């Protein structure tokens, strides 16, 4: 593909995305998630000073525990800050490209959640060298500590899985209908 072809494709995508109301809703959702994620981390770090306290016991199920995650999900790729940042940027750009073309609201919610979560954690990686995690449900035998961005990514994946299932069901219904008419 030549640079001129790439520019033409980008212009076509932008025209389609700009006209797609769901694109703007997905971006707005992503922005809200980034704001909520960063606001919660600011409160945890500066408001209640969790880095100094390390842990606040709330209940037998849930605590606030300060963790500096220098890896990806569940600590994978520990210490590979720049690689993780590049992956986050690439995933966010790829999902934004897809978002510009999506016409299914459930999928838009999923993609918006994932983009917002990825960008929320990307900010931490670039600004601090690690991601601030603090939501601790170890009382439920869930050993990982996570944050709002992580939760949004997981919720986004759940929405995409639901959308895929729903879309598959609709296709099966259409096939059955076509068979009956044939």
Distance CA 138, CA 175 (A): 46
In this prediction, residue 153 carries a pLDDT of 96
Distance CA 140, CA 137 (A): 6
- Closest listed residue to residue 66, CA positions, set 88, 51, 82, 84: 51
Where are the chain's structural domains? Answer: 14-177
Report percent pLDDT > 70 for the chain.
Answer: 96
Asked whether the predicted pLDDT for residue 168 surpasses 90, the reply is no
pTM of the predicted model as reported, rounded to 2 decimal places: 0.89
Residue range 112-141: mean pLDDT, rounded: 95
- Interval 12-41: pLDDT, tens: 999 999 999 999 999 999 999 999 999 999
SS3 148: helix
**What single-letter DSSP state applies at residue 20?**
-
Q: At 1, is the pLDDT very low, low, confident or very high (cuts 50, 70, 90)?
A: confident
Angstrom distances, CA of residue 178 to CA of 164, 165, 166, 167, 171: 21, 20, 18, 16, 10
Return the active site residues: 133, 150
Which of 18-32, 142-156, 161-175 is least confident?
A: 161-175
Sign of the CA dihedral with 105 first, then 109, 114, and 115 last: positive
Asked whether the predicted pLDDT for residue 74 surpasses 60, the reply is no
Distance CA 114, CA 150 (A): 9
Joined tokens for residue 170: 């609709």
Residue range 167-179: mean pLDDT, rounded: 82
């Amino acid at each position: 593909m030549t640079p001129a072809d790439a520019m033409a494709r980008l212009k076509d995508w932008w025209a389609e995305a700009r006209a797609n109301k769901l694109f703007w809703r997905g971006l707005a959702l992503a922005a809200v998630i980034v704001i909520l994620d960063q606001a919660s981390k600011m409160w945890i770090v500066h408001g209640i000073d969790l880095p100094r306290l390390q842990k606040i016991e709330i209940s037998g199920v849930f605590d606030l525990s300060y963790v500096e995650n220098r890896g990806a999900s569940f600590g994978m790729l520990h210490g590979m800050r720049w690689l993780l940042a590049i992956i986050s940027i690439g995933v966010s750009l790829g999902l934004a490209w897809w978002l510009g073309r999506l016409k299914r609201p459930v999928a838009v919610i999923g993609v918006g959640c994932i983009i917002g979560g990825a960008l929320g954690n990307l900010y931490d990686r670039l600004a601090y060298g690690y991601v601030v995690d603090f939501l601790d449900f170890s009382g439920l035998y869930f050993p990982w500590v996570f944050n709002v961005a992580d939760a949004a990514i997981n919720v986004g994946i759940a929405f995409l899985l639901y959308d895929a299932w729903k879309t598959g069901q609709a296709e099966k219904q259409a096939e059955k209908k076509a068979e009956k008419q044939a």
